[in-house]
């Protein structure tokens, strides 16, 4: 994270170090409120109706859909989550499991000079499924890492394995192909 935030992250790390099982102290929300302004500027808020937020939401929806697909393929219900438990969210489990991959969206969006939420932005976000990355020490692309990751998580939740390893590494700069610049 530090390599693409390009700002001091000590306060974020301190908050993350206090994260407890089941996040009963709501550290994740505290970190998020500090994380996004570090990337997008002090005036940035995730609740604002801006092209940047539209791009983030679209990218997260793409991640959620591929995670939910991997959950469904294995015969599990997407509505039964771990931390996300709202009854009006049909994708609670996917919302839980997509978390390690959200920084890929954040990093790509932060590298763009987004003025409007255009079809080029949408294409760039969909194309992130092809981003080269390392998952558990193996080179792969995002679209192939997610089903492996979901399978590992579901095996753990079902009690088929006692531990799982989840290590996600993304390059310092997520390629945007032809989209570098103002779009």
List the structure tokens of 38.
């570090």
Backbone phi, psi, residue 140, to 5°: -160, -170
CATH number of the domain where residue 79 is located: 1.20.120.920
Task: Convert the pLDDT of each residue in 45-83 to its tens digit.
Answer: 999 999 999 999 999 999 999 999 999 999 998 876 677
pTM higher than the cut 0.85: no
Q: Are 77 and 44 in contact (CB under 8 A)?
A: no
141 shares a domain with 76: yes
136 shares a domain with 72: yes
124 shares a domain with 81: yes
3 shares a domain with 35: yes
**pLDDT band at 180; cut points 50, 70, 90:** very low
What percent of the chain stands above pLDDT 90?
A: 51
**Side-chain-facing half-sphere of 61: CA atoms under 13 Å:** 8
**CA distance linking residue 61 with residue 101, whole number of Å:** 12
**CA distance linking residue 6 with residue 110, whole number of Å:** 11
| Segments forming the whole domain that contains residue 92 | 49-179
Task: Convert the pLDDT of each residue in 119-168 to its tens digit.
Answer: 999 999 999 999 999 999 999 999 999 999 999 999 999 999 999 888 88
102 shares a domain with 44: no
């Amino acid at each position: 994270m530090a390599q693409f935030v390009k700002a001091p992250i000590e306060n974020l790390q301190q908050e993350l170090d206090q994260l407890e099982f089941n996040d009963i102290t709501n550290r994740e929300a505290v970190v998020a409120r500090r994380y996004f302004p570090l990337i997008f500027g002090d005036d940035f808020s995730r609740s604002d109706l801006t092209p940047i937020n539209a791009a983030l939401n679209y990218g997260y929806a793409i991640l959620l859909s591929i995670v939910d697909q991997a959950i469904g393929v294995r015969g599990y219900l997407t509505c039964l989550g771990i931390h996300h438990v709202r009854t009006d969210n049909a994708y609670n489990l996917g919302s839980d499991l997509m978390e390690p991959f959200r920084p890929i969206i954040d990093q790509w969006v932060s590298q763009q000079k987004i003025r409007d939420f255009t079809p080029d932005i949408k294409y760039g976000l969909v194309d992130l499924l092809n981003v080269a990355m390392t998952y558990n020490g193996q080179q792969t692309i995002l679209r192939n890492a997610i089903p492996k990751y979901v399978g590992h998580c579901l095996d753990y939740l079902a009690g088929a394995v006692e531990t799982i390893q989840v290590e996600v590494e993304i390059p310092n700069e997520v390629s945007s192909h032809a989209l570098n610049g103002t779009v």
